[in-house]
Amino acid sequence: MPNTPAPTSAARAAEPAAGPATSRLVRSLAVATLVANIGIVVTGGAVRLTASGLGCPEWPLCTADSLVATPEMGIHGVIEFGNRLLTFVLTAIAFGMLASVWKGRSARPDLMRLSVAALAGIPAQAFIGGITVWTDLNPWVVGLHFIVSMIIIAVAVVLVNRAWLSPGQLAERHEPLAGRTLRPVVWAIAVLSAITVVLGVIVTGAGPHAGDHGAARNNLDPDLMTRIHVVPVYLLVFTLIVALYLVYRRTVDVRFKRSLLLFTAVVLAQAVIGYAQHFLALPIALVALHMLGASLMTAAAAQVFYTGFSRKVPEQSPKA
């Protein structure tokens, strides 16, 4: 019998790339992790925007002698306690994710590490949430609460990407999708996005939506902080223009191009909402949309960074 030649590395990568290496459960839970962490930011924003931040004045109990909100606490107690209950949903998803990758942890240590990181973020956020209540909604602690959520969202984006890797991509390594010219631009996008989010948190701490009518503000000039906040936004838009020019001027992998276009759309929408809420005196609905936009912008920026620098990026399937 004639010897059958060994398949090339390209052929080995192409053969198993028809489907992801992980189960549908793992992929679903990875997506649920991302969606749930974005969702709890929005519900947390609803707590603050309805002045329900101290609806449960104690932590971890809602009152000194009750775990749950009491009828005497009214709607604010219901809203705050409802947001606390969502933490249990987030915890269930995180433990489900960890359990789903546990059996294959030796083969996929990356998924194991990311699942542990997503789970570890929950007690960290619970601890910061407790300090938030104990300090009567100190704006700097509230801001830290938000920033940690953004970090967890970024971790979840990486988790989703890694969960969708095909067997071929697990076995092969490739150069980052962003070429040498684009890599500094991708770094600039990541850094400017982070600065924009942090300054946005500081602006919020100076604004009127404190989470409770008696909560302190950070005593910074809201108008001045808003003007400072838009500086990295302008720089980010300029950086995006440069990135898009470079992407369309040369051959770039479609996966990186799509992540960059998605991020551009989110940034533009977020900028429009930001300007609208500023000139309309911060209506609650627009502020809530802006918080959602900050979460989506963080996720989109993490996707740009991941697809730009990771050596393992999911294939673009016809169904995607």
| Percentage of the residues of the chain whose pLDDT score is greater than 70 | 92
* Interval 189-248: pLDDT, tens: 999 999 999 999 999 988 888 777 778 888 899 899 999 999 999 999 999 999 999 998
CA–CA gap between residue 266 and residue 285 (Å, rounded): 18
Predicted local confidence at residue 19, as pLDDT: 64
The residues, any chain, with a CB within 8 Å of residue 181's CB and separated by 6 or more, are 246, 250
What does the block give as tokens for 148? Answer: 């940690």
For the whole model, what pTM was predicted? 0.89
In angstroms, how far apart are the furthest CA atoms of the chain? 85
Contact 236, 192 (CB under 8 A): yes
Q: Which residues of the chain have pLDDT under 70?
A: 1-19, 316-320
Predicted local confidence at residue 1, as pLDDT: 42
Beta bridge partners of 66: 63
CA–CA gap between residue 59 and residue 79 (Å, rounded): 15
Predicted local confidence at residue 316, as pLDDT: 66
The residues, any chain, with a CB within 8 Å of residue 62's CB and separated by 6 or more, are 56, 68, 69, 70, 73, 77, 80, 81, 84
Supply the mean pLDDT for the chain: 87
Contact 171, 14 (CB under 8 A): no
Contact 201, 147 (CB under 8 A): yes
CA–CA gap between residue 286 and residue 278 (Å, rounded): 9
What does the block give as tokens for 306? Answer: 């991941």
